Structure 1
Amino acid sequence: MNINVILFTDFETLDVFGPVEVFGKVENYTIGYYSQQGGIVSNKDGLRIETQKIDDIKINDVLFIPGGLGTRQVVENTSLIDQIKQLAEKSRYVLTVCTGSALLARTGLLDGKKATSNKRAFDWVKSNSDRVNWIQQARWVVDGKYYTSSGVSAGIDMTLGFVSDLSGKNTAEEIAFRIEYNWQSDKHHDDFWKQ
């Protein structure tokens, strides 16, 4: 299965590499990194990742969209939002972490669907679409092919949930044990939602 990770300037490190750690433990999963222009994409943690152009995506199994401070600019980038929409429509599954759900919401594809996001940025995310049924207390939400998670480390929980849905709970638990991670497997409850 191909995991197509969309990157942009100032993406959140753990939004990407927590889930990538999980995806990387699943047999026959291939991870690719893409950005609008291709080339090096960096963030405030000093991370620099080589990416291919979004137009180079050929297999649309999983579209993965992280969050981070960069989403505040990306929501205004209508050409990138249009590219995300086209890819999301073709993809078998679409996963977002943190404020990445704001980008997906801007496409209109979450209209009438349930979704969640980072609790500290929840009001801002909601301001990007009032047509989404935003679930504040959820750790992650699944609505059809769309998986959206709360902030940062919640992306790991959601990705383990995704693996569980596709490959069985035992596989997800084995991965969590292998990476020494205490998986919060209850998607309906996020300890951070009232803070």
Structure 2
Amino acid sequence: MMENNDNKLQLGMVVFDGFQLLDTFGPLEMFGALKDKVDILMIGERSGIVKSSAGPAVVVDRTFDEITTLDMLLIPGGMGTRREVNNQPFVDAFRKLAERTPHVASICTGAAILARTGLIDGLKATTNKRAFKWATSQRDKVVWIKQARWVEDGKFFTSAGVSAGTDMALALIQKLFGHDVAISVANGAEYEWNEDPHHDPFAKLNGLIDD
């Protein structure tokens, strides 16, 4: 596994105009508790300020072109995904980075961008249940799972909407560092981790499955 000189894993969170706050900072709060194990970078297509869909902005640490290796690559959802799925240079740059990253995860409608890369063709994935029809229409070669809090298939993790990304992040932490570490992180955040990836009441709520 690729590590830097401090033996920390490198996590890159992709941001774009209109990214969803909790999609991004829910998972980063979990990984941020592991400062002795993980370094976090915000990655963007261009350097500078990137505004979330709610207004607060972040600063890009590195552009796609400035990143060579990562251990984890995450991409959030948000209304900006509706634009970025048609931004081919963005999709291509994300694909190139995802291809060489050992662990890749999408939160919410970030799955639409991941799907557009073609990297999860034939693999299982899920996404935001309120935006399920739109997100899944971006690529019919993906095996879209209607009822799932998150899905793991190969090196890819995909989560359902917004808060589900935090549950998925803890599942990735468990995979990398063990269950005890994941529980410790969740407890430190006073967060009740839903450890069951199949527990997804929002699929029914949004009419994706029958009673």
Q: CA deviation at 1:57?
A: 1.1
Summarize deviations over 1:70-119 as a string: whole Å, max 9, x none. Answer: 00000000011000110110001101000000001001001000000000
Alignment partner of 1:140 out of 143, 150, 153: 150
Q: CA deviation at 1:45?
A: 1.7
Counterpart residue type for residue 48 of structure 2: G
TM-score using structure 1 length? 0.98
The aligned counterpart of 1:5 is: 13
What aligned pairs does 1:78-97 form with structure 2 within 5 A after superposition?
A: 78-97=88-107
Q: Note if 1:149 corresponds to 2:159.
A: yes
The aligned counterpart of 1:113 is: 123
The aligned counterpart of 2:136 is: 126
Task: Identify unmatched segments of 5+ residues in structure 2.
Answer: 1-8, 206-211
The aligned counterpart of 2:28 is: 20
| Structure number, greater radius of gyration | 2
Separation of aligned partners in 1, 2:53 and 2:33: 27
The aligned counterpart of 1:31 is: 40
Q: CA deviation at 1:58?
A: 2.5
Separation of aligned partners in 2, 1:7 and 1:180: 26
TM-score using structure 2 length? 0.91
Q: Which runs of 4+ in 1 moved over 2 A?
A: none
Aligned to 2:204, the other structure's residue is in SS state: coil
Separation of aligned partners in 2, 1:159 and 1:119: 18
Aligned residues: 195
Q: CA deviation at 1:44?
A: 2.8
Task: Identify unmatched segments of 5+ residues in structure 1.
Answer: none
